[in-house]
Structure 1
Amino acid sequence: MDSKTFQQPLYRQLANHYLDAIQASVLHPGDRMPSVRVLARQHTLSLATALQACRLLESEGWLEARPRSGYFVRSQKLPGVLAVTEPDMSKPHDAAQFVGIHQNVSEIISMGQRKVRVNLGRAAGAPELYPEKQLNALAARALREKPDLFSRQSYPTGNAAFKSVLAKRALSSGMTINPDEILVTHGCIEALNLALRAVAQPGDVIAVESPTFYGLLQVMESLGMRALEIPTSAQTGISLEALELALQTYDNIKAVVVVPHLQNPLGSIMPEAHKKRLVQLCETADIALIEDDSYSALVHDGPPLTSLKAHDTSGNVIHCASLHKILAPGLRLGWMIAGRWHARVNMLKYAQTRYNDEWSQTIAGKFMASPAFDRHLHKIRGALRIQRDLTAEAIVRHFPVGTRCSLPNGGVSVWVELPAGFSSKKIFEAALAQEILISPGLLFSNSHRFDHFIRLNCGMPFSEEVKQAYVQLGNIMRAQQ
């Protein structure tokens, strides 16, 4: 070692030693590091120094900490991954239209309900990524402490303790809200449904991201509303220039619906200046801004993201979120802050589905109020980061030359752009015949402009079966060429 090396702190020297091993491929992505105790013993260092070295490598993105499992090497470089093409803003908007996607969605969902070996079509983490045992224990405890949970009526707008926890956690995203402003819903999809019903009528135009979550298009179709698709970037989210043009063109746009963080399916994260401008644009135009913020807790790194609602000074933003992706896919538990539409949404909620059960809110509230929730989020983010990188590497290795994909800073899926001429519907059908499920791009728009895209789940551990599924998908694609 040179003199500069010896001048470095001991923890930095130890970190550099293992960094060299990672960069020389002596240690590979997914490999487990020696425990802190073993490191200290092998290198004749204190436990504190060994732990500091591991934390340094974690902060620099080379290691991933897994609770009660230790430190693991994570993939750092992804050579050959091409970014998804940015939308062409020079093309005119498609006319606002009644969605008409329900038949396509229903057919594909129906086909996808058959038994498959590998499910790459969903947008959720694997069951083992969620705190099943802890939630089960809290469920039993809740019934012991309140044996009348099932025999008494629920609170109209949600459990007070659960809403208090939500209000406290909202502070980290810039929102200062009273728990009484929160309405508990059956997942985020009900919150979006209520928000649209509160601000618009059948025949009205709703501006949405393009591509967008197909569930939103289904809701709009069921309500008789027309979707106006606004070009959306995989880097910065909805195009504000295109939205401004749309507001000048249409006089009956009643709302804009966006996913500002880890947009589904693109994975984009809206810059802060972009958020402020969007909130102001909608307020000036006097149209509701509906925010679906179900994914922000899954962002890999960086400070907590500021919600659109944090920039709202007039009650014009309706904030919707849920625990479906981040805590428990089996709980259809969401909430909304409806701003100036609070009373109307409350009435619509009562008329539509009445109240949410107390049991699930009690379980979620107790878990989210404990340190275990943040430990869980740290664990799931780390696992998803590794699985995203391994997914991207498999795409580069097995898919056709020229394939592009998003590399979102979090979330449970990647958006894949295949070379022109490929049909996601044909790939979906051929993959399903081999018991592999994917989400074809045509689901995410009322047009066919995304038929050469697919959305793939990266929430599953990268097992040999999953690896083989990517090989098979590549073979299916090459057969289309």
Structure 2
Amino acid sequence: MSEPLFTPQGPSTDRPAERQPLYRQLADQYRRAIGNGALRPGDRMPSMRAFMQRHGVSLATATESYRELERAALIDARPRAGYFVRVPPTAALPCAAEPDLAMQPGAAAQFVGIHSEISALVSKFQRYPHALNLGGATASPDLYPTDALQKAAVRALRRRPTLLTAVGPDQGDPALRALIARRALEAGIQIGADDIIMTHGGVEAMNLALRAVTQPGDTVAVESPCFFGLLQALESLGLRALEIPTSPSTGLAIEALAFALHTHSGIKAVVVVPNLQNPLGSVMPDAHKASLVELCARAGIALIEDDPYRELVDAAPPPRSLKAWDTDGTVIHCTSFNKTLAPGMRVGWINGGRWHPRIGMLKFAQSRHNEQLSQVVLAGFLETSAYERHLRRLRESLQLRRERMAAAVAASFPDGTRFTPPRGGMFFWIELPRHVSSSALFDAALHGGIRIMPGTVFSNAGRFDHFIRLSCPSADLDLTDEAVRRLGRLAARMAAHAPTR
């Protein structure tokens, strides 16, 4: 990331210069720049070396200047990333409301019917191809290691010219599967390379898991809200969805699921995103993960874990997967590199637990062998320290974008807006004042050149119309800030003119 364009002017005139130490004069220059908006929340400060060169000062003076700004709560130091302008505490909004545990589990499971709504959204997107995308689910392309992956692809083809013409192993590239098994230990998962089947991204992994444990007409318990792609998969397979309330802070409500299992016969599977749930951004505590695995094991049903965001959690080390608590094959673990490394490669994998042989058969019948080049490229990337360095930079960049977006939302959206800050990743699940329709806001925003996701697509039961999901993928932070401000003004006008209910 480049240094900020702001160039401090002369020393402070608040007090005679000779009465202030030089480090404090320099700190005052940056203090004024932060105060007048020349440096904004989330902006990167000059590195120590750049600061010393720019102002012709020693390391001691530069260090004291930054300590002065830290003491004033104007900047923060981030490990291995440098100093950043702090997002002011006043930017915080009230946290989103916790779900009503009595509301949902008693409702009957429903056949999913969301294809038409998603198709309508896609049709509208196509009419505004140049709209700024604040509703996507992948980071900006500039945050992924494009050059390194390109060079790795060239090296792989030189070493193995037949990668594009030869058929690969049924389960996927052996070297990549071995590396994945080794990395899985960090998530608490003890598996071997033969326990892994490579898939065409996380979507195929999820479809295989659902097909392995259900028949058309069966019921699947899902989080509410949940990713609309899962609802589409359920609909395509002729399955019913039973929505379970999900907390923006701790994830799926275990007690609500237990009640549902007691009152609803025929639930065949539970699908959960335990780490950075989409769209909530919640991370399930370890105790809840253990309880969830135990509950599903006792009930004898499959627990399908969708875990593509785990390595984007702002924690060192990242949290463990549900599979870490699995002792009898109850958990089917699905994940991919789509969110963390290479969205365009569509490389995912699945460990099927006690359904692993059936999943292997379904995979071979459905799509045979995976494309080899992407797998070999990723194996070459994972066997070095390049992947860890990339993840560190990606988490830092996403944190900066989230802080900027949080400040813009807090400054621009109407009174009554709430959200719980996510613990990583790229999503914001924003609760609007109850009388503001996310569907109407979606239409108005798209007409104004901004793409968002309305809350209604994250439920099969027509819930969440006063919620929206925003994401922070754009490479242009200033453009994103302005788009969020315009979106906030639209929401404020709707809040001012809509009748309360």
CA separation in 1, counterparts of 2:428 and 2:205? 25
User: Is 2:372 aligned against 1:358?
Assistant: yes
CA separation in 2, counterparts of 1:428 and 1:267? 21
Decide which moves more: 170-179 or 214-223. 170-179
Q: Deviations over 1:155-198 (max 9, x none)?
A: 10010011111111111111111011000001111111000100
User: Is 2:194 aligned against 1:193?
Assistant: no
Contact kept in structure 1, 2:91 and 2:406, CA below 8 Å = no
1:77 aligned residue: 89
2:47 aligned residue: 35
Equivalent position amino acid for 1:107 in 2: A
Query: Residue 474 of structure 1 is aligned with which of 488, 491, 495?
Result: 488
CA separation in 1, counterparts of 2:235 and 2:139? 28
Decide which moves more: 249-258 or 112-121. 112-121
The TM-score, its normalising length taken from structure 2, stands at 0.86
Contact kept in structure 1, 2:104 and 2:244, CA below 8 Å = no
> CA distance change for structure 1 residues 278 and 71 in 2, over 3 Å: closer, same or farther?
same
User: Is 2:399 aligned against 1:399?
Assistant: no
SS in 1 for 2:269: strand
1:107 aligned residue: 120
- Pairwise mapping of residues 23-62 of structure 1 onto structure 2 (< 5 A)? 25=34, 28-37=40-49, 44-45=58-59, 62=76
Equivalent position amino acid for 2:237 in 1: L
CA separation in 1, counterparts of 2:485 and 2:29? 31
Q: Deviations over 1:123-147 (max 9, x none)?
A: 1111110000000111111111100
2:19 aligned residue: none
SS in 1 for 2:138: coil
Report how many aligned residue pairs link the two structures: 461
- Cα offset, 1:153, TM superposition: 0.7
Q: Deviations over 1:338-360 (max 9, x none)?
A: 01111100000011111111100
CA separation in 1, counterparts of 2:259 and 2:75? 41
- Cα offset, 1:236, TM superposition: 0.5
Contact kept in structure 2, 1:181 and 1:337, CA below 8 Å = yes
User: Is 2:238 aligned against 1:250?
Assistant: no
Contact kept in structure 1, 2:427 and 2:471, CA below 8 Å = yes
CA separation in 1, counterparts of 2:75 and 2:100? 34
User: Is 2:435 aligned against 1:430?
Assistant: no
1:9 aligned residue: none
> CA distance change for structure 1 residues 434 and 279 in 2, over 3 Å: closer, same or farther?
same
> CA distance change for structure 1 residues 402 and 39 in 2, over 3 Å: closer, same or farther?
same
Q: Deviations over 1:77-125 (max 9, x none)?
A: 3534111111011224321010111111111122223413310111111
Which consecutive residues of structure 1, in runs of 5 or more, have no partner in the other structure? 1-13
Decide which moves more: 72-81 or 443-452. 72-81
User: Is 2:169 aligned against 1:181?
Assistant: no
The TM-score, its normalising length taken from structure 1, stands at 0.89
2:14 aligned residue: none
- Cα offset, 1:46, TM superposition: 8.1
SS in 2 for 1:405: coil
Equivalent position amino acid for 1:105 in 2: I
Contact kept in structure 2, 1:299 and 1:409, CA below 8 Å = yes
CA separation in 2, counterparts of 1:20 and 1:194? 59
Contact kept in structure 1, 2:454 and 2:468, CA below 8 Å = yes
1:299 aligned residue: 313
SS in 2 for 1:404: coil
User: Is 2:359 aligned against 1:374?
Assistant: no
SS in 2 for 1:62: strand
CA separation in 2, counterparts of 1:74 and 1:180? 47
- Cα offset, 1:152, TM superposition: 1.0
User: Is 2:184 aligned against 1:170?
Assistant: yes
Equivalent position amino acid for 2:123 in 1: S
SS in 2 for 1:471: helix
2:109 aligned residue: 96
Equivalent position amino acid for 1:436 in 2: I
> CA distance change for structure 1 residues 145 and 402 in 2, over 3 Å: closer, same or farther?
same
SS in 1 for 2:220: strand
Equivalent position amino acid for 2:102 in 1: S
> CA distance change for structure 1 residues 334 and 394 in 2, over 3 Å: closer, same or farther?
same
Contact kept in structure 2, 1:74 and 1:386, CA below 8 Å = no
User: Is 2:424 aligned against 1:418?
Assistant: no
